[in-house]
Amino acid sequence: MAQTKPAADNARGWLLAGPMSVILLAFLVLPILMIGTVSFWGATEFSIYPAFEFDNYEFLFGSPVTYAVFVKTFMYAIVTWALTLAIGFTVAFFLAFHILTLTWQIALFLVCTIPFWTSNIIRMISWIPFPGRNGIANSTLLELGLIDTPLEWLLFSDFAVILAFVHLYTLFMVVPIFNTMMRIDKVLIEAARDAGATGVQILTDVIIPLSTPGIMIGSIFVITLVMGDFITVRILSGSQSANVGRLISNDVALLQYPSAAATAVVLLVTVLLTIGIMLRFVDIRKEL
């Protein structure tokens, strides 16, 4: 009865893959194609018209602003990545190897997620009163006598932007790293210890190599999120810094959709290239 023929098997496979394909096609592939198409269109002050012209790209690649902004975007991404990696790895390491009972591990892991119960925007904006000129940080430092005048660079600066990024995205690093670390067989560590490895050696030769997939997944999360962001940069730099997302948002705000689409396409290609390069180092599929 339950004997299925290859043809039926095949059909079932198509059926199972169907819904996902349709969703991806309708909500991912088509919109991206649309953006690609519009990026060649022209625009007036208040309308866009179909055309096939390279003006948008010509301007984009011809303008020093584009390069400056891309450099800034990469700067944000790399610094945020390094910091979230350092913090995320440490937290995951602590949870995975220093907390001994599973109950506590889960409990502490949930504690890490508490900030995520509120919206991204709220967590970001709630930073503003803290490092301001008359904010808590400056008034505390002044009272302690550590500084004489308020530190201006605490807010509305690249420092503030990266601070918020690290706060917002560290969890995206903690979760995958913690996940891979939990799957490292403790026997391996005992074996390394028995073979005379020091703590540092165990870390660099056993734990880090085995948690690379987690690190890589976390890195992809953080880098794509930071490169695609615009609101954090806008609010915490006090609009004084620009990344690629802000270029796009400025264009959209003034109905310059084709120009925004062209920038979006370039950003998409850049992010894909970055991720492509990262994946050259680690074959996530094999490691998982």
Where does this chain bind another protein (CB under 8 A)? 43, 45-46, 59, 63-65, 68-69, 72, 128-129, 132-135, 152, 155-156, 234-235, 237-242, 246-247, 250-251, 253-254, 256, 259
Task: Give buried/exposed letters for 252-288 (b at 16+ CB in 10 A, else e).
Answer: beeebbbbbbbbbbbbeeebeebbeeeeeebeeeeee
* Contact of 223 with 77, CB cutoff 8 Å: yes
Return the number of the residue (220 or 227) whose C-beta is nearest another protein: 227
Return the number of the residue (127 or 172) whose C-beta is nearest another protein: 127
Q: Output the smallest distance, CB 236 to another protein, in A.
A: 9
Q: Output the smallest distance, CB 25 to another protein, in A.
A: 30
Q: Output the smallest distance, CB 35 to another protein, in A.
A: 19
Q: How far is CA 111 from CA 114, 173, 218, in A?
A: 5, 15, 19
CA atoms within 13 A on the CB side of 56: 29
Return the number of the residue (123 or 193) whose C-beta is nearest another protein: 123
Return the number of the residue (69 or 271) whose C-beta is nearest another protein: 69
Element counts in the chain: helices (H) and strands (E): 15, 2
Q: Output the smallest distance, CB 30 to another protein, in A.
A: 25
Angle between helices 30-38 and 257-281 (to 10 degrees): 130
* Contact of 182 with 97, CB cutoff 8 Å: no
Q: Output the smallest distance, CB 235 to another protein, in A.
A: 8
Q: How far apart are CA 42 and CA 261, in angstroms?
A: 11
Return the number of the residue (211 or 256) whose C-beta is nearest another protein: 256
